[in-house]
Amino acid sequence: MIRNAYLLSVDYEGNSKAARLKFFDPERQEIFFMIDWTGHRPYLLTDAPPERIKEILGQNLMSRVHSITSVNKFNVLEDRNVVLTKVEAKDPLAIGGSPNNIRETLKSEGYRVWEANIKYYNCYIYDTGLEPGALYLIKGPNEVELSCKFEAEDQQIIELLSGGKEELEFAKRLIPLLRQPAPKLKILALDIEVASPRGMIARSKDAKWPIISVSLSGNDGLKQVHLLKRGRPPEKSKTHLGASIIVHEREEELIKEIFNIISSYPLILTFNGDDFDLPYLAERAKELGIKSNIIKKERDKVTVETGIHIDLYKLFRNSSIRVYIFNNAYIGATLDEIAEALLNERKIEVDKSNIPDLPPEQLAEYSFQDAYLTLKLGTIDNNSLIRLLFVFSRISKLTIEDVARYGISKWISNMIFYEYRRRGWLIPNPEEIQAIRGRETFTKATIEGKKYKGALVLEPVPGPHFNVSVLDFASMYPSIIGTWRISFETINCPHEDCRTNRPVEDLPHWVCRKGLGIIPDLIKTIRDLRVRWYKRIEKDPTKSPTERDWYGAVQRGLKVLLNASYGVFGYENFPLYSPPTAEMITAIGRKAIMASIEEAEKEGLRVIYGDTDSLFVENAPKEKIEELCKKIHEKLGIELELDKVYRYVILSELKKNYLGVLEDGSVEIKGLLGKKRNIPAFVRRAFEDVISILKDVRDEKDLENAKQEIFAVIRGWCDKLERGEFSLQEVAFEVMLTKPTDGYVKTTPQHVKAAMMLERRKGIRIQPGAVISFVKTKDKNGVKPVEFAKKEDLDLDKYLEIMETTFGQLLGALGTSFREVMSGVKRGSLLDYF
Partner DNA sequence: GCGGACTGCTTACCT
Partner DNA sequence: ACAGGTAAGCAGTCCGCG
Residue 801 makes contact with DNA by CB under 7 A: yes
* Residue number with CB closer to DNA (162 or 573): 573
Binding to DNA, residues 713-742 (CB under 7 A): 734-739
First to last CA, the chain: 83
CB of residue 779 vs DNA: minimum separation in angstroms? 12
CB of residue 425 vs DNA: minimum separation in angstroms? 23
Q: Which candidate, 124, 155, 85, places its Cα nearest to that of 7?
A: 124
Enter the DSSP assignment of 769: T
Element (H, E) at 827: none
Residue 802 makes contact with DNA by CB under 7 A: yes
Task: Candidates 124, 271, 417, 452: give the one binding DNA (CB under 7 A).
Answer: 452
Residue 404 makes contact with DNA by CB under 7 A: no
* Residue number with CB closer to DNA (115 or 804): 804
Interatomic CA distance for residues 812 and 805, integer angstroms: 10
Beta bridge partners of 471: 615, 642
Half-sphere exposure of 185 (CA within 13 A, CB side): 33
Task: Candidates 450, 499, 622, 819: give the one binding DNA (CB under 7 A).
Answer: 450
Interatomic CA distance for residues 713 and 693, integer angstroms: 9
* Residue number with CB closer to DNA (174 or 771): 771
Stretch that binds DNA, among 39-47, 383-391, 565-573, 618-626 (CB under 7 A): 565-573
Residue 250: CB atoms within 10 A of its CB come to: 12
Q: Which candidate, 3, 20, 2, places its Cα nearest to that of 11?
A: 20
CB of residue 407 vs DNA: minimum separation in angstroms? 3
Residue 799 makes contact with DNA by CB under 7 A: no
Residue 434 makes contact with DNA by CB under 7 A: no
Binding to DNA, residues 198-257 (CB under 7 A): none
Task: Candidates 37, 466, 571, 788: give the one binding DNA (CB under 7 A).
Answer: 571
Residue 744 makes contact with DNA by CB under 7 A: yes
CB crowding 405-422: b at 16 or more within 10 Å, else e: bbbbbbbbbbbbbbbbbb
Task: Candidates 4, 614, 816, 817: give the one binding DNA (CB under 7 A).
Answer: 614
Task: Candidates 447, 541, 634, 779: give the one binding DNA (CB under 7 A).
Answer: 447
Half-sphere exposure of 53 (CA within 13 A, CB side): 29
Task: Candidates 125, 568, 576, 732: give the one binding DNA (CB under 7 A).
Answer: 568
* Residue number with CB closer to DNA (12 or 616): 616
Binding to DNA, residues 766-785 (CB under 7 A): 771, 776, 782
Stretch that binds DNA, among 118-126, 210-218, 231-239, 746-754 (CB under 7 A): 746-754
Residue 36 near residue 52 (C-beta atoms within 8 A):
no
Question: Which spans in 493-544 are helix H?
Answer: 519-529, 535-538
Binding to DNA, residues 324-353 (CB under 7 A): 328, 331
Binding to DNA, residues 629-658 (CB under 7 A): 654-657
Provide the Cα torsion 328, 329, 332, 334; round to 10°: -130
CB of residue 675 vs DNA: minimum separation in angstroms? 6
Binding to DNA, residues 653-692 (CB under 7 A): 654-657, 669-671, 673, 675-678
* Residue number with CB closer to DNA (494 or 749): 749
* Residue number with CB closer to DNA (292 or 738): 738
Residue 406 makes contact with DNA by CB under 7 A: yes
Task: Candidates 3, 376, 451, 606: give the one binding DNA (CB under 7 A).
Answer: 451
Residue 32 near residue 23 (C-beta atoms within 8 A):
yes
* Per-position DSSP letters for 161-230, written without gaps between them: ----HHHHHHHHHHHHHTTSPPPP--EEEEEEEE-PPTTPPP-STT--S-EEEEEEEETTS-EEEEEE--
Residue 402 makes contact with DNA by CB under 7 A: no
Interatomic CA distance for residues 201 and 225, integer angstroms: 22
Task: Candidates 19, 178, 285, 564: give the one binding DNA (CB under 7 A).
Answer: 564
Beta bridge partners of 611: 457
Task: Candidates 82, 350, 455, 642: give the one binding DNA (CB under 7 A).
Answer: 455
* Residue number with CB closer to DNA (210 or 464): 464
Stretch that binds DNA, among 162-170, 253-261, 566-574, 711-719 (CB under 7 A): 566-574
Sign of CA dihedral 668, 669, 675, 677: positive
* Per-position DSSP letters for 331-361, written without gaps between them: -S-SHHHHHHHHHS--PPP--GGGGGGS-HH
CB of residue 341 vs DNA: minimum separation in angstroms? 11
Task: Candidates 384, 612, 816, 817: give the one binding DNA (CB under 7 A).
Answer: 612
Stretch that binds DNA, among 252-260, 384-392, 400-408, 523-531 (CB under 7 A): 400-408
Q: Which candidate, 218, 308, 305, 313, places its Cα nearest to that of 273?
A: 313
Residue 765 makes contact with DNA by CB under 7 A: no
Residue 374 makes contact with DNA by CB under 7 A: no
* Residue number with CB closer to DNA (11 or 472): 472
Task: Candidates 303, 318, 374, 777: give the one binding DNA (CB under 7 A).
Answer: 318
Q: How far is CA 820 from CA 708, 714, 824, in A?
A: 12, 12, 8
Task: Candidates 747, 792, 824, 829: give the one binding DNA (CB under 7 A).
Answer: 747
Task: Candidates 22, 41, 86, 314: give the one binding DNA (CB under 7 A).
Answer: 314
Contacting residues for 392 by C-beta, under 8 A, at least 6 apart: 398, 403, 411, 557, 560, 561
Interatomic CA distance for residues 780 and 571, integer angstroms: 43
Interatomic CA distance for residues 537 and 547, integer angstroms: 9
CB of residue 117 vs DNA: minimum separation in angstroms? 16
Half-sphere exposure of 65 (CA within 13 A, CB side): 22
Using CB under 7 A as the binding criterion, the count of chain residues that bind DNA stands at 76
Element (H, E) at 751: helix 750-762
Residue 606 makes contact with DNA by CB under 7 A: no
